[in-house]
Structure 1
Amino acid sequence: MSYRIDRVRAEDGERCRTLRLQMLQDTPMAYLETYQDALDRPAEEWDSRAARNTKPGNTGYVAVDESTGAWVGAMHAYVPGDDPEIAWLVGVWVHPDHRGGKLGVTDRLLDAVVAWSRTEPAVSRMLLEVHESNTRAIAYYERRGFVRTGRTTPYPLDPTACELEMELPLG
C-alpha cells in the first residue's frame, strides 16, 4: 500500500466529519465526545473544525490511501495561547486496516506533526493525554519517545477513569 500525508484544508469539513465518526466508532474512549454528539453536529461545525487546522498555531494531517483516495488516519496539534512552549497532540487515529509498524502510517503522521511543531518558534515539547486503558496507544507513544509526566486528569465522559499525560521533548 502507498500513502501520502496531506494537511487538512479549510474545505475538508465533510471529510473531517466522516473520519471523526469512524474514529468514534472504532475507539470511543480515545476522544472527548460521543458518536451521537458528533453525528448531531451541523455542517458548519465540521467546516469550522477543518478551517481551524489552517490557522496559526494549529495543524492537522491526514494519511491518504493513494489507491483509493480515502482518508485512513489523522493527527492534529495546536499551541495553546497561554503556553507557547507546548504543542498538544490531539485527534489521533489510524484505521485498523492501516495500523502497524510495517505500514508506517502512524509514524509518518507523527513525523509530520513533530516537524510542524518544530517550526513553531517557542515550542520545546509536545504533550498529549491518552486514556489509561488505551494500552496500544500508550505503547506506541513510548516507542516514539514520549514519557509519562505523572499527571493525570479524570476522563470527562467517565470520571472513574483517567487520562495519562505524556510528553515528548522537542529540543
Structure 2
Amino acid sequence: MTLAGTASGARPDWTIRPSVEDDWQAYRALRFEMLEDAPLAFLETLEAARLHPDEHWRRRTDGTSTTTRLFAAVAPGGTWLGSMGGHQAAGTRDPYLVGVYVTPGYRGRAAGVTDALLDAVIEWAQGRGDRLLLDVHEHNPAAIRYYERRGFVFTGRTQPYPLDRSTREREMALAL
C-alpha cells in the first residue's frame, strides 16, 4: 500500500508505506522527535530510547513480522513525517494501534497524514479481530478528539500509565 498526499494541497510531498529494515535511521530520528514532543503519548522516555543499539531500530522497522506492522509517512528525501503501527500479541483477540505520531507541520485534517496513516493500520487490522484497540493517556485531549472523530469509543477499561502511575491510560476501540 502506498498513498500520496500534500501538506499544503499544492503538490504531492509525502507517501504512506510500510516500513522496511533500511528505514531504521529515519525511524530512529522520528522516534526521538516524538518522545521529545509528546512524552505522555509513549511508554518510553527519550533517555531510554537513546540507549538502544542500532539493531533495536532495525528490528522495529523490519517489515517481516506477521504480528506487527509499522507504517510511515515519508517525504521525498526519505524523512519520516509520521508513523503508526499495528500490533497483535500472541493469543489476543484484537490488534492494537501503537506508536501514533505525526510531526507538527503535517498534523491536522487539511494535511491528511494522520488519516492516511490510520487508514493503513485499519486496512492491516482487517480480518485480525473484531476491533482495533488503542490506549490513550487521559491527559491527551487532542488525541482523544481525533480518535472519537474517527469512530473510536471508550471501552471503560483503564490502566495506570507506566511512566506515571498516578495517571491513567484509557482504552478505546474501533469496530472493524
TM-score of the superposition, structure 1-length normalised? 0.92
Matched residue pairs, number?
165
Shift of the 63–122 alpha-carbon distance from structure 1 to 2, 3 Å rule, reads closer
Unaligned 5+ segments in structure 1 are: none
Partner of 2:60 in structure 1? 49
TM-aligned CA distance change 1:122 to 1:105, over 3 Å: closer
Deviation (angstroms), 1:57: 1.9
Counterparts of 1:49 and 1:55 in 2: how far apart (Å)?
A: 10
1:148 pairs, out of 108, 132, 154, with: 154
* Candidates 109, 113, 123, aligned match of 1:101: 109
The answer to whether residue 64 in structure 2 is matched with residue 37 in structure 1 is no
Change (3 A) 1:122 1:43: closer
Equivalent positions of 1:38-77 (< 5 A) are 38-51=49-62, 53-66=63-76, 68-77=77-86
Identity %: 45
Structure 1 stretches of 4+ with a deviation exceeding 6 A read none
- Contact 2:97 / 2:133 at 8 angstroms: preserved in 1? yes
Match of 1:28 among 39, 56, 71: 39
Seen in structure 2, the aligned counterparts of structure 1 residues 41 and 13 have a Cα distance that, compared at 3 Å, is: same
1:10: which partner in 2?
21
- Deviation of 1:169 after TM superposition, in Å, equals 0.6
Q: Which runs of 5+ in 2 are unaligned?
A: 1-5, 7-11
Aligned partner letter, 1:16:
Y
CA 1:41–1:122: 2 relative to 1, 3 Å = closer
TM-aligned CA deviation for residue 19 of structure 1: 1.0
Alignment root-mean-square deviation, CA: 1.2
